A and B are shown apart, each in its own frame.
Chain A
Amino acid sequence: MFNNAMGLILADNKKISLGELSNPRALSAMPFGGRYRIIDFMLSNMVNSGVKNVGLLTYNKYKSLMDHTGTGGAWSLDRKNDGLHILPPYVNSEATNISSDEELTGVIDFLRQSRTPYVIVAGANVILNTTFDSFIKSHEESGADISVMYNRDGTKYGNPSYILDIDDDGFVRDMLYNPAKATSPKCSLGILCLRRDLLIDILARQMAHGQSHFGIHSIVKMFDEFKVHGFEYSGVVLRINSVQSYFNASMSLLTDSVRNDLFWSGKPIYTKVKDEAPTLYFDNAEMSDSIVSDGCRIYGKVESSVIFRSVTIAKNTTIKNCVIMQDVHISENCHLENVILDKNAFVRPGVRLVGHPDYPIVIGKGAGI
């Protein structure tokens, strides 16, 4: 545990779209794993590391995110000093439209107000459960200006991918963006550690060069000018780059080793509490290999699925390989396979929907079938 670092999380990623699923929300606000949003993992990693000051950098569709985080109480970040700060684009009342540099202005102001020597910067598309103690220690020991976390996923999660070429001393020599062929399995996790004053300098310079957005890998790319050190992470990492990888990541939670690493390693993942009732299983419920959250009522058959809060699955209905988000109602006599249902979707009786495991069907938020 340390408190010499602050956190900065980029709440969205312009390079990643989850189609209909990301229409209503920023990537980090994407529901995941039954009762979480993607952001919960990185926020929890930060607070479990002793970080007490976290900025959430947003530029678009952040209502859902703000509903979720509130004042940060669920992560013990509702503090008098420091705490959780949502950083929407900085809009001056005299500005007629949001121009390129407002996003960075807000971040620089926020960074300047902090007192910690280090900043941990992270994106919105990786899910892992860790603390940053050894990352910071390695950063200090390596004498690097910037440290970047990576693992050996290569390009298997698809784009965007940032493949790192790292020399024997652990320093980054090259970085390839979406290479057709990976020259190395070392794939960046988009998690950085650097001194706060260095980050302020870099951002100020980027602004002066007319750069509009905060880009984590635009910082890694400065390996010619700064010493950028790689830190290998060997735990479970789920990358969310597409609908397909979201679906695969959800399904991987049904594997004991993945679940144990993400949820039972002694470092709790915090999320907004909902005070739902316990889930009730009725007479003919048949359950197998599934994650189920509170407030559900299960009368039918569920196999290899991830069920969020307050979902109803009526009798004579079979659910297989599905991700079913909060408040979805599935009526009697349905058969759903390889389907992702977004919040509040309603499936009428007798519906049969079968997607392919490599191409799940997505039902949008609030849709009626």
Chain B
Amino acid sequence: MARTEVVAMILAGGQGSRLGVLTKTVAKPAVPFGSRYRIIDFPLSNCVNSGIEIVGVLTQYQPLALNTYVGNGHPWDLDRNNAGAYILPPFQSNSGSDWYKGTANAIYQNMSFIDDNDPEYVVILSGDHIYKMDYAAMLKAHIEKNADATIAVYEVPWDEAPRFGILNTKDDDVIEEFEEKPANPKSNLASMGVYIFTWSVLRQALIEDEANPNSNNDFGKNIVPNLLAQGKKLCAYRFAGYWKDVGTISSLWETNMDILDKPEEINLVDRSWKIFSRNPVKPSHFIGSGAKVKNSALTDGCRIFGDVEHSVLSESVIVEKGAIVKDCVLMPGVVVKEGAHIERCVIDQGTVIGKDVQAGSFVEGEGPYTNHKICSEGICVFERGLTIKEGAVIPKNSMIDSDLEVPEDCKIIESKFRA
């Protein structure tokens, strides 16, 4: 067999604390997205569609759901004899044990995994973006330019540039400088968190970075600036397709809505670049008489008897008669009971919205669950496995968190699954 050309490493250990209760018990890449998917389906499918067959998935924070989901990699055809998906948690060794201290340290700790596969190049990916990208085309550019590292960049609107890691380039897209969230950006090329390194160069850089006790062990903050300082050739690779960060509740909601509003942009029906996922074993969905379904995405196992408008429903969601669901993202197994009315709600797996509950952007005011730090634009977010009391009224920008202490008369959570 020919030598392995490339190994991909997906950084999937982060908590994603800006997603609030959605990442209380699962890591961000395992958060359900777009009716049929989890966020990690996108980088995994991109790898497979790009011909990358060795994929390390670095887990750390709440790895159970992610480990179970990725499993042996079968849904992505990553259960090969000499390749596949490999879950890489932090581990103990003779010299001690350590959590992954940062993105670069996570790769450093798994250097022997990469060395065993002996690749020429390593692709570093993160598990928090929704996009379809051909890493093989990027690798081709990396090789043609004889680069030591290539960083995928996305042209963001200038006014948004201060929120991103910005790459300043000269002619031919050779990178001169990396600035993390610059107040006065000199460029609008944002790093997408997609890196290709020539492995020998990265290997050396990781060893040097590890030796520096003051380092944050982070790709953006340390590895990239150090390589630039050493005069290595770093190139930007411009990506022009659909790319969205889903790191916040509002961006997660908005990106879900993009499936409805701009279906051609992410184009999930493209059979030449399928996004694979672990399929639920559920029958086709059913829409009863008297139901209304408009501008929405549905999948297997859903049973709809009420009104669903402009919403993204995951598998096995039930919307009962007389319920109104508008602008919502309902994750697997959510039940909306008779007469409930919800708008702009992001509801995690298995939560039951009781009869006649009113929740979301159309309910004015504030309540004990109001959370302006996590929620904005009127969006409410619900933890998984809750049963919300009949008739509860939940104002906009609320985060329903079972761990939050609220006065007895404000309690809206009737029970919690596996409390």
User: A residues engaging B (CB < 8 A)?
Assistant: 33-36, 73, 254, 259, 262-264, 268-270, 273, 275-295, 297, 306-308, 310
Contacts and interface: CB of A to CB of B under 8 A. Distances in A.
B406 interface: no
A308 B284 CA distance: 8
Interface stretch (B56-64, B209-217, B290-298): B290-298
Contact of A268 (B281, B288, B289, B304): B281
B259 A281 contact: no
A288 B259 contact: no
B286 A277 contact: no
Given A285-B294, A287-B293, A294-B36, A280 B286 contact: no
B297 A278 contact: yes
Contacts of B284: 33-35, 291-294, 306-308
Interface stretch (B111-119, B218-226, B246-254, B272-280): B272-280
A290 B281 contact: no
B283 A259 contact: yes
A292 B298 contact: yes
The main secondary structure of chain A at its interface with chain B is: loop
A307 B285 CA distance: 10
Nearest first, the 3 A-B pairs at minimum CB distance are: A34-B284, A277-B268, A278-B35
B281 A275 contact: no
A18 to B, nearest CB: 21
Contact of B294 (A262, A268, A281): A281
Given A278-B259, A285-B294, A288-B289, 10 more contacts: A36-B283, A268-B281, A277-B275, A278-B36, A278-B312, A280-B297, A281-B297, A283-B295, A284-B294, A310-B269
A279 B298 contact: yes
Q: Which of A269, A283, A294, A308 has the most CB of B within 10 A?
A: A294
A270 B283 contact: no
A264 B75 CA distance: 24
Contact of B291 (A34, A288, A294): A288
Q: How large is the interface on B (under 10, 10 to 19, 20 to 34, 35 or more residues)?
A: 35 or more
B298 A281 contact: yes
Contact of B285 (A33, A282, A292): A292
Contacts of A297: 269
B287 interface: yes
A262 B284 CA distance: 12
B130 to A, nearest CB: 13
A287 B287 CA distance: 7
A3 B276 CA distance: 33
Contacts of B275: 275, 277
Given A275-B275, A293-B300, A294-B299, A269 B283 contact: yes
Given A292-B285, A293-B284, A295-B269, A275 B293 contact: no
B300 A290 contact: no
Q: Which of A259, A279, A285 has the most CB of B within 10 A?
A: A279
Nearest to A268: B281
Q: Which of A35, A264, A275, A278 has the most CB of B within 10 A?
A: A278
5 contacts: A263-B283, A269-B281, A277-B275, A292-B285, A293-B285
B14 interface: no
Contact of B293 (A33, A36, A285): A285
Contacts of B182: none
Contact of B263 (A264, A273, A280): A280
A273 B300 CA distance: 11
A297 B281 CA distance: 22
B287 A290 contact: yes
B174 interface: no
A228 B281 CA distance: 36
Q: Which of A35, A280, A308 has the most CB of B within 10 A?
A: A280
Nearest to B74: A73
B260 interface: yes
Interface string B311-324: 01000000000000
Nearest to A302: B287
B165 interface: no
Contacts of B312: 278
A292 B279 contact: no
A98 to B, nearest CB: 36
B350 interface: no
Nearest to A282: B295
A276 B285 CA distance: 14
A220 to B, nearest CB: 32
Contacts of A283: 294-295
Contact of A291 (B268, B281, B285): B285
A227 to B, nearest CB: 38
Nearest to A304: B289
Contacts of A268: 281-282
B34 interface: yes
Contacts of A287: 287, 291-293, 304
Contact of A281 (B34, B36, B274, B293): B293
Interface string B30-65: 000011100000000000000000000000000000
Contacts of B283: 33-36, 259, 262-264, 269, 291
Contact of A278 (B288, B291, B299): B299
